[in-house]
Chains A and B, each alone.
Chain A
């Protein structure tokens, strides 16, 4: 029993001495290297953000460089991912910028006065009915002003200002079923009516037989219209329907000049109407 006790005591002293020696005397570089290899291999996450200076003491410089290279590699990979997101965002902004420069460049050549407004709200249930823009009475937007957009270098009619608020306005689109625009067909200037159908196509109605319309003809706003300045492109005839049985008029489908569903900015035309016409408009004719 006492012999067993002695053996235990000797073993305890032995192990405690070894442990104390390891603690007190600076461990050799090889020990630190092994420690670092094992620790980094099995628990790499423990080293992220660890206080490295004291931990790496006595470790050979070449191994420290390997370790630091791995750490730098991880950090740079993370940074690359962040940069890729920023690059994608920058590309999108550059494209947007290019588009806006094109639009504003074209608007400088427009023969109407007005201001640009951004489309801020669309109703998914009434996509071809109305949308909102970010300019209102505070910006000088008048009621019933015409709104046009530019696409592929060409200006086309989009709608008119239907409601004006201080900070924003509601635009009724020409594709709205309650919208109608007096239009002029082709070079001869035969007048007709463009009506919205609630879809991307418009309907050209009340076209007299003498007009002899055909596919591809361009439709413009008519000088007879009080609301819209003359000469704004509305669209091109897509398909002609011969005269309906009860009436002596032909009709046609018209594809708008601009894609109404994709409009992001509109140019609101402000023109000085004679007072008597303005009063009539404001009274809601």
Chain B
């Protein structure tokens, strides 16, 4: 039951991200709903569940991208979840302000890491300055909503996360 609930959440995030990329962009940049979901799951779920979600959501982002890397986002999201697992006891990540701050910082770091990976492994520069400037802001604005939705789902559905 927990597995099926997790699958539903996984595909729901995938569909929402896909719908956003087709219908709702800001200066051509889509708010990264998957990133916000990974961050939220890392805060509220058990570590192993969060690592699994992070890895497979990263695989989805690699599948959908046009970049030459495959596995880049899976690695970055997995590392991100692990880092949050290590630091979440020291910081309060349930408040909206801390979530926004965390989202901005981790967005920038993940984009830089992806850029470095792409330059090292495929010598291609996949990201533009526009993405570095706009996507973290969009993710930060989205983060509190996604977090509250996942918390709500966790309270309502017994076998979840």
Q: Which stretch in B66-74, B90-98, B138-146 binds the other chain?
A: B66-74
Does A31 count as interface, using CB distance less than 8 angstroms?
A: yes
Given A11-B47, A11-B48, A54-B122 in contact, is the A16-B79 Cβ separation under 8 Å?
yes
Does A12 count as interface, using CB distance less than 8 angstroms?
A: yes
Q: Which residues of B contact A (CB under 8 A)?
A: 18, 21-22, 47-48, 51-52, 54-55, 58, 62-72, 74-75, 78-79, 81-82, 85, 117, 121-122, 124
Q: Report Cα–Cα, A12/B50, bound state, in Å.
A: 10
Residue of A16, A19, A22, A24 ringed by the most chain B CB atoms within 10 A: A19
Cross-chain contact A19 with B85 (CB below 8 angstroms) = no
List 25 A-B residue pairs with CB atoms under 8 Å apart, sorted by A's residue number.
A7-B47, A8-B47, A8-B85, A11-B51, A12-B82, A15-B51, A15-B78, A18-B55, A18-B71, A18-B74, A19-B74, A19-B75, A22-B71, A23-B70, A23-B121, A32-B70, A35-B62, A38-B64, A39-B63, A43-B21, A46-B65, A47-B66, A50-B66, A51-B124, A55-B66
Q: Report Cα–Cα, A7/B85, bound state, in Å.
A: 13
User: Which residues of chain A have C-beta atoms less than 8 A from B75's C-beta?
Assistant: 16, 19-20, 23
Question: Which residues, 17 to 69 on A, are CB-close (under 8 Å) to B?
Answer: 18-24, 27, 31-32, 34-35, 38-39, 42-43, 46-47, 50-51, 54-55, 57
Nearest chain A CB to B138 CB, angstrom units:
18
Cross-chain contact A54 with B68 (CB below 8 angstroms) = yes
User: Which residues of chain A have C-beta atoms less than 8 A from B55's C-beta?
Assistant: 15, 18-19
Cross-chain contact A35 with B47 (CB below 8 angstroms) = no
Q: Report Cα–Cα, A46/B67, bound state, in Å.
A: 10
Cross-chain contact A22 with B74 (CB below 8 angstroms) = yes
Nearest chain B CB to A175 CB, angstrom units:
59
Q: Report Cα–Cα, A34/B70, bound state, in Å.
A: 12
Q: Report Cα–Cα, A24/B75, bound state, in Å.
A: 12
User: Which residues of chain B have C-beta atoms less than 8 A from A16's C-beta?
Assistant: 75, 78-79, 82
Q: Report Cα–Cα, A7/B51, bound state, in Å.
A: 11
Cross-chain contact A19 with B48 (CB below 8 angstroms) = no
User: Which residues of chain A have C-beta atoms less than 8 A from B85's C-beta?
Assistant: 8
Cross-chain contact B64 with A42 (CB below 8 angstroms) = yes
Q: Report Cα–Cα, A54/B119, bound state, in Å.
A: 13
Q: Report Cα–Cα, A16/B72, bound state, in Å.
A: 10
User: Which residues of chain A have C-beta atoms less than 8 A from B124's C-beta?
Assistant: 51, 54
User: Which residues of chain B have C-beta atoms less than 8 A from A19's C-beta?
Assistant: 55, 58, 71-72, 74-75, 78
Q: Report Cα–Cα, A55/B48, bound state, in Å.
A: 32
Cross-chain contact A35 with B63 (CB below 8 angstroms) = yes
Cross-chain contact B79 with A35 (CB below 8 angstroms) = no
User: Which residues of chain A have C-beta atoms less than 8 A from B65's C-beta?
Assistant: 39, 46
Q: Which 7 A-B pairs have the closest CB atoms?
A: A22-B71, A19-B75, A8-B47, A23-B71, A19-B74, A15-B55, A15-B78
User: Which residues of chain B have C-beta atoms less than 8 A from A42's C-beta?
Assistant: 18, 64
Given A11-B48, A12-B81, 17 new contacts (CB under 8 A): A8-B47, A8-B48, A8-B85, A11-B47, A12-B82, A19-B74, A19-B78, A20-B71, A22-B62, A23-B75, A35-B63, A38-B63, A39-B65, A39-B66, A43-B21, A43-B64, A47-B66
**Quick one: closest B residue to A41, CB to CB?**
B64
Q: Report Cα–Cα, A176/B54, bound state, in Å.
A: 84
User: Which residues of chain A have C-beta atoms less than 8 A from B68's C-beta?
Assistant: 54-55, 57
Q: Report Cα–Cα, A51/B54, bound state, in Å.
A: 28
User: Which residues of chain A have C-beta atoms less than 8 A from B66's C-beta?
Assistant: 39, 46-47, 50, 55
Cross-chain contact A12 with B70 (CB below 8 angstroms) = no
Q: Report Cα–Cα, A43/B47, bound state, in Å.
A: 32
Q: Report Cα–Cα, A7/B124, bound state, in Å.
A: 36
Q: Report Cα–Cα, A21/B121, bound state, in Å.
A: 12
Nearest chain B CB to A5 CB, angstrom units:
9
Nearest chain A CB to B156 CB, angstrom units:
26
User: Which residues of chain B have C-beta atoms less than 8 A from A12's C-beta?
Assistant: 51, 78, 81-82
Nearest chain B CB to A33 CB, angstrom units:
11
Q: Report Cα–Cα, A12/B85, bound state, in Å.
A: 11
Q: Report Cα–Cα, A43/B67, bound state, in Å.
A: 13
